[in-house]
């Protein structure tokens, strides 16, 4: 579930599925994300990395790296270094917070085993359901109590 959303965020720049996931599950992670994002943009601006950088890898490459790399190759190398440093920083901070505060994110906890079921497993489960349906319902005695005592 997380891998397709991550690849979409990297290549197309559509980050909303990931951001909304941790916005609603752990709002303080979203605050950390906002602070780290603002810090990264500020540091990149201080190093002279400017351009259309608010989208995915495909658009950044098409609008910045490919047409401008002959004159601005050093700047894009700085961008890659800062980006990798912040990727590592994001990983360390988020992993520490998720483990420390036991944040329940999708795919983190496995409640049941993932496996392929055989026809015999299906038939056994079907028999169990059918035998439970054949049991008579328990009748509860319904003694009426006066509404006003």
Q: Where are the alpha helices (DSSP H) in the chain?
A: 2-12, 16-25, 27-46, 57-60, 66-100, 119-134
**Which comes out higher in pLDDT, residue 18 or 122?**
18
- C-alpha 2: how far from chain center: 5
Mean pLDDT for all residues in the chain: 81
Helix (H, G, I), strand (E, B) or coil at 15: coil
Residue 14 has pLDDT above 70, yes or no: yes
| pLDDT tens digits for range 79-108 | 999 999 999 999 999 999 989 988 877 667
**Which comes out higher in pLDDT, residue 121 or 27?**
27
Residue 144 has pLDDT above 80, yes or no: no
pLDDT at 143: 58
Helix (H, G, I), strand (E, B) or coil at 100: helix
Per the CB < 8 A criterion, the answer to whether 82 and 45 are in contact is no
Residue 133 has pLDDT above 70, yes or no: no
Using a cut of 0.75, tell me whether the model's pTM lies above it: no
Taken in order 130, 135, 140, 141, the sign of the CA dihedral is: positive
Q: Name residues whose C-beta falls within 8 Å of residue 46's C-beta, 6 or more positions apart in sequence.
A: none
């Amino acid at each position: 579930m997380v891998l397709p959303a991550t690849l979409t965020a990297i290549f197309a720049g559509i980050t909303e599925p990931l951001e909304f996931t941790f916005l609603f599950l752990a709002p303080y992670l979203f605050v950390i994300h906002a602070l780290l994002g603002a810090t990264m943009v500020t540091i990149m601006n201080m190093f002279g990395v400017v351009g259309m950088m608010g989208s995915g890898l495909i658009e950044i490459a098409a609008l910045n790296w490919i047409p401008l790399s002959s004159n601005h190759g050093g700047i894009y190398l700085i961008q890659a270094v800062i980006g990798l440093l912040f990727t590592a920083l994001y990983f360390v901070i988020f992993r520490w917070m998720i483990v420390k505060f036991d944040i329940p994110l999708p795919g983190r906890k496995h409640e049941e085993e993932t496996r392929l079921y055989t026809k015999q497993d299906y038939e056994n489960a079907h028999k169990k359901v059918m035998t439970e349906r054949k049991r008579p319902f328990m009748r509860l005695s319904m003694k009426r109590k006066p509404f006003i005592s």
